[in-house]
Amino acid sequence: MSLGEGNAGLRAMAHPVRLQILSLLTGSALTAAEVARELGLTHANASYHLRNLHSAGVIVLAGEEKIRGGVAKRYRYEAARDRLPESAEERGEIFVALGHELIRRAAQGRWSATAEPPPAPALMADGDLWIDPVKWREIHGKIAEAVRELHDIAQPPRTPGTIRTNTSVAMFEMES
């Protein structure tokens, strides 16, 4: 997740709805009305969250269009702009926020092997591991590349022929 300009970006990310909005805006540029419909929000609430994310530099304006006599702004999340805050405290807070979002998403997971079609097997990895630093950077780079590819191929919500997925990655070095 991109955190924009320091504390402003962190504050913008502090709300769980905003994390959901970032996920939506990865696959396509959307208006407040489209975000509201997808997440079951009011138009005013979606607009409020989009303004917060935009003013913090977390999302970008991707265009404007005239709709029913007004102007609708389209916003987009650009994963290529991702960066974590410099402060260790702020980085910790963002990982906690992502942990809460993972709990929400796991409740919506397709876990049943009897579902039609059956879901791909879930993948989960966790470890407090001691790794050679050269291998660590190599593997870190491969995972970062895979995450960028997922963001690059993301489609708008409910695009025919797509499935809804979750990918949450947190990788960092720890104090020895």
Instruction: Supply the pTM of this predicted model.
Output: 0.73
Using the structure block, give the residue that is written with the tokens 């320091």: 6
Statement: residue 6 has pLDDT above 50 = no
d(CA 173, CA 147): 18
pLDDT at 40: 95
pLDDT at 4: 42
3-state DSSP: the chain helix, strand, coil percent, rounded to 5? Answer: 50, 10, 40
| 21, β-bridge pairs | none
d(CA 66, CA 53): 22
Statement: residue 144 has pLDDT above 80 = yes
Q: What is the pLDDT of residues 89-143, one digit of tens each?
A: 777 777 887 888 888 888 888 877 777 777 888 888 888 889 999 999 999 999 9
Statement: residue 33 has pLDDT above 90 = yes
21, 32 contact by CB (below 8 A): no
